[in-house]
Structure 1
Amino acid sequence: MSLIDFSPILLWFLAGVFFLALELLLPGLIVFFFGLGAWCTALILSLLPLTLANQLLVFLISSLIFLVLLRSFVKKIFLGHTLEVDAMAPGAPIEGTGEVIEDIVPPAVGKIKYGGSFWRARADQPLTKGTVVRILEKKNLTVKVGPLTAEGEE
């Protein structure tokens, strides 16, 4: 059985599967729309008899339409979104509290939990595990902390 003996509908469908599988290997979310265009061509070919030139034209036009209309929408779904502001970025206001999870005994550093993450922390005075601290300063990946008093002041 040769390639010519296969149904053109089946060939377009398999081309769509090939393009969708190829998208897993290539970045950019472009080949995905060629897969949709191939499937669209297979669907139209199952309804209407078309010459090879017309099949290629349907493939090209439908792929471009899918690309233009759906790319930004599909990209948001599959690629997600990124957080625009890092809470601990340089220049960001430093405010908030954390909890000591590893004793801080100066000059050595300990660890705190702050903003859902764990940070290396240093302090001017010893702080034990479980102490609630205020973030005073950030330098690279280490934060300087101080204890909170009952009034919330150091």
Structure 2
Amino acid sequence: MALFGFSPVLFWFLAGIVFLALELLLPGLIVFFFGLGAWSTALVLYLLPMSLANQLLVFLVSSLLFLVLLRSFVKKIFLGRTLEVDAMDQGGLLQGTGEVIEDILPPAYGKVKYGGSFWQARADQPLSRGTTVRILEKNNLTVKVGPLAAEGEQ
């Protein structure tokens, strides 16, 4: 039986391509497995002619099997892994300097610019806009800063 002038094998193969293309547009890594199911159906249909009801059953079963058995494995490959250690905690930030862009008047927070990013900042003493500061400590998205030249330094 030809559907839209295509053989059923070609139809399932093209449906698999459509599902894989849809995965690029939809989040969740689910539609990908429907593409694999469609390709499985095309392969089974190529080897063994069957009715449309059986084709749909093969498509459904193979898609669900791929989803259940391979999703966690494929997700690790395509979505990557998360970095357990905060890159900012490796000392790079604590050696840097920044510029106050919003006055810091303790206990209120201000803002500093460091490395092209803006950070909420706190300090032990008032710091005015334009002051160059040393980054002393980081706590989540807040940094503690102090004046670049400490008492007695020049």
Q: TM-score, normalised by structure 2?
A: 0.63
**In the alignment, which residue of structure 1 is the partner of 2:97?**
100
- CA shift, 1:120, in A, is 3.9
Contact 2:12 2:41 in 1 (8 A): yes
What SS does structure 2 have at the residue aligned with 1:3?
Answer: coil
Give the Cα–Cα distance (whole angstroms) in 1 for the partners of residues 127 and 22 of structure 2. Answer: 57
Structure 2 alignment gaps of length 5 or more: 150-154
Check 1:10–1:125 CA distance in 2 against 1; reply closer, same or farther (3 A cut): same
- CA shift, 1:28, in A, is 2.4
Amino acid aligned to 1:28: G
Contact 1:134 1:147 in 2 (8 A): no
Amino acid aligned to 1:69: L
1:57 to 2:54 alignment: no
1:134 to 2:121 alignment: no
**In the alignment, which residue of structure 1 is the partner of 2:48?**
48
**In the alignment, which residue of structure 2 is the partner of 1:92?**
none
**Equivalent residues, number:** 138
- Structure 1 segment 110-121 matched on structure 2, within 5 A: 111=112, 113=114, 119-121=119-121
**In the alignment, which residue of structure 1 is the partner of 2:152?**
none
Contact 1:112 1:120 in 2 (8 A): no
Give the Cα–Cα distance (whole angstroms) in 2 for the partners of residues 106 and 18 of structure 1. Answer: 55
Q: TM-score, normalised by structure 1?
A: 0.63
In the TM superposition, what whole-angstrom CA distance separates every residue of 1:64-123 from its partner, at most 9, and x where no partner exists? 1111111111122233344557689xxxxxxx8242122588649563648x96534343
Structure 1 alignment gaps of length 5 or more: 89-95, 150-154
Give the Cα–Cα distance (whole angstroms) in 1 for the partners of residues 135 and 22 of structure 2. Answer: 51
Give the Cα–Cα distance (whole angstroms) in 2 for the partners of residues 54 and 141 of structure 1. Answer: 56
What SS does structure 1 have at the residue aligned with 2:50?
Answer: coil
1:19 to 2:19 alignment: yes
Check 1:41–1:102 CA distance in 2 against 1; reply closer, same or farther (3 A cut): same
Check 1:59–1:133 CA distance in 2 against 1; reply closer, same or farther (3 A cut): closer
Give the Cα–Cα distance (whole angstroms) in 1 for the partners of residues 29 and 42 of structure 2. Answer: 21
Contact 2:135 2:143 in 1 (8 A): no
Give the Cα–Cα distance (whole angstroms) in 1 for the partners of residues 70 and 14 of structure 2. Answer: 22
Contact 1:112 1:121 in 2 (8 A): no
Give the Cα–Cα distance (whole angstroms) in 1 for the partners of residues 104 and 26 of structure 2. Answer: 50
